[in-house]
Amino acid sequence: MATSAAFQTSLWPGEDSPADEADLEEVEVTHHRFSENVKVYAIYGDCHRMGTAPNFPHDKLRPVMFIWRNREYRVHDVTYVWRETQGQAEVYHFTVSDGANVFELSYNAKALDWTITGTYTE
């Protein structure tokens, strides 16, 4: 079941324009929370952070595309990653962007499955 909440966020003006409050643009962002299985294509390999060794498995795991509700989304950016323990399972969360929207994907390392747990859209 999906829930949604709308909230306002401010975007900073471009670097070439003056940074005063009158130039800030108000954007309405809608957040939906749910839990649906999703097919994710991910790569597992060398750490993308130069000069650092991976600390956790999710440091090497990176979703690159997913299919949700019969639509394909290509991941342009992985903006945030964290892990948590749910019972005996390690769950890795990825906040990703397709360039227009932000999605939260979760990978359950014990069940070996992916779910989409949220979206943020304008």
Please list the helix, strand and coil fractions of the chain in percent, rounded to the nearest 5, in that order.
5, 60, 35
Q: Does the structure show a pLDDT above 60 at 119?
A: yes
Q: Does the structure show a pLDDT above 50 at 15?
A: no
Dihedral class, residue 87 (left if φ above 0, else alpha if ψ from -120 to 50, else beta)? left
Q: What is the pLDDT of residue 35?
A: 94
User: Which pLDDT band, with edges at 50, 70 and 90, does 8 fall under?
Assistant: very low
Half-sphere exposure of 38 (CA within 13 A, CB side): 26
